Chain A
Amino acid sequence: MGEKIRKIEYYLPEKIITNKDIYYSKEIANEKGQIDENLLEKRISKLEKSTGIKERHIVKEGETALDIAQKVSEKILQKYDRDKIDFIILCTESPEYYLPAGACILQDRLNLRKNIGAFDFNLGCSGFVYGLVLAKSFIQNNIAKSILLITSETYSKLIYHKDKGNRTIFGDAAAAVIVERSKKDQIGKFVLGTDGSGYKNLIVPNGGLHRRYNPSAKEIDDGAGNIRTENNFFMNGTEVFNFTIKVVPELFFQILEKNKISLENLDYVIFHQANKYMNEYLRKKIGIPKDKYYLNLLYTGNTVSATIPIAIRNALDDGTIKKGKKVLLAGFGVGYSWGGTVITI
């Protein structure tokens, strides 16, 4: 007896921001104030080639991670008896409130049973893998039979409006899976890791209880034209790339070893979709063949904890993966936190 992912859905908020929207600015205007369209096109083209991102979706004013979590949940419950759900887990770093947990509010909004468990947990790029850890454990230990796991993120609300770099990379999205008991073991063994010494490299410094939101926070320029304040999201590109180069190849081989499977016998690999440049570098460094490697964030950007479930859904939709296929999943990032496993579709 084992556990499996029974259903996957995702939801992208309606508002779309293109690269042109982000980079169309006074900086590339001439003395008459006219934008140099050629220069703009050239920059955007280069950007798209290196980041692999053309557009990203963001929530509208007043819309939150909880709202899009609700939307994706309604989507997944369209063809599933919601009375079967006996646990709901929400992974988010953009909570509705400090308290109560969003998952509790969702129980009510989705009209689920009351005799169920619910809680939130706070992780980013590794979130979906950790969500599977929880779901698998609960089912294995007869704590639940049918778990609704949602990852929902709205970094757009945390990124400063003048921070072009991060506005380019990140997109908002919510994804949901239903994990159930199954005859075969379809969620494999996990490899997990944490290194809190990297906490400062992916962070929103103000707004929590350590340092409150500062209405007079000064603007900080990173030297490459990206501006933020301490109230906003900060990512140290150098350090984060260093971290992934060091950790991800090792994680990959540890997952193979723990699940007693070789790269040759793996059908597909889905890493957290961070950005095209980094993901391609990791693929080459590890030696994963291109046709076994998911790489697509063209219309979503980096959606943090939703990238992996979105990738699984897309790969299912276009026939890249089918029932019975063995897919390695690996998430890595904010924390630093990382983890992975092999699932059977």
Chain B
Amino acid sequence: MKRIKKEDFIENLKEALEIEDDKTLTMDTNLKDLEEYDSLSVLVIVAMLDKKFGKQISSSDFEKVTTINSLINFIGEKYFE
């Protein structure tokens, strides 16, 4: 199984969530605090998890997601290099 680089994942996430170019996202960025974060962001993340990792995230698990790091932890370290 091809592992994906964490930096690439963050870049994909930034693009998918349509975050402004001049903003830097790090592992510690709290997704829900981002200005661009809205109810569509939820769909974007669900879609990404399905498409890239074949995973589903329940709404209760999603509630626990805060930083990008916590999202990566949910997906599972084994998917990342």
User: Residues on A close to B: CB < 8 A?
Assistant: 46-47, 50-51, 165, 201, 222-226, 236-239, 241-242, 245-246, 275, 277-278, 281, 285
Contact = CB atoms under 8 A, between A and B. Distances in A.
Interface stretch (B21-29, B52-60, B69-77): B52-60
B4 interface: no
B58 A237 contact: no
Contacts, number: 54
Given A46-B18, A242-B58, A237 B44 contact: no
Given A241-B46, A245-B50, A277-B44, A226 B39 contact: yes
B66 to A, nearest CB: 11
Contact of A237 (B32, B37, B39, B51): B39
Contacts of A51: 40
Nearest to A168: B39
B56 A245 contact: yes
Question: What does DSSP make chain B's interface, helix, strand, loop or mixed?
Answer: helix
B57 A281 contact: no
B40 A277 contact: yes
Contacts of A222: 39
B18 A237 contact: no
Given A165-B39, A226-B39, 8 more contacts: A47-B40, A51-B40, A224-B42, A237-B43, A238-B58, A241-B42, A241-B43, A242-B58
Nearest to A280: B47
Contact of A238 (B37, B38, B51, B59): B59
B43 to A, nearest CB: 5
Interface residues of B, number: 21
A241 B50 CA distance: 10
Given A237-B43, A241-B46, A246 B37 contact: no
A12 to B, nearest CB: 24
Given A46-B18, A223-B32, A281-B47, A239 B40 contact: no
A224 B38 CA distance: 5
User: 4 tightest CB-CB pairs across the interface, nearest first?
Assistant: A238-B59, A165-B39, A50-B40, A241-B46
Nearest to B32: A223
A241 B51 CA distance: 13
Contacts of A47: 40
Contact of A224 (B39, B50, B57, B59): B39
Given A223-B32, A246-B56, A238 B18 contact: no
Contacts of A245: 46, 50, 56
Contacts of B42: 224, 237-238, 241
Nearest to A46: B18
Nearest to B36: A46
Given A223-B32, A225-B38, A239 B59 contact: yes
A239 B58 contact: yes
Contacts of A246: 56
9 contacts: A224-B41, A237-B39, A238-B46, A238-B58, A238-B62, A242-B56, A245-B50, A245-B56, A285-B50
Contacts of B50: 245, 285
A223 B18 CA distance: 19
A285 B32 CA distance: 27
B37 A236 contact: no
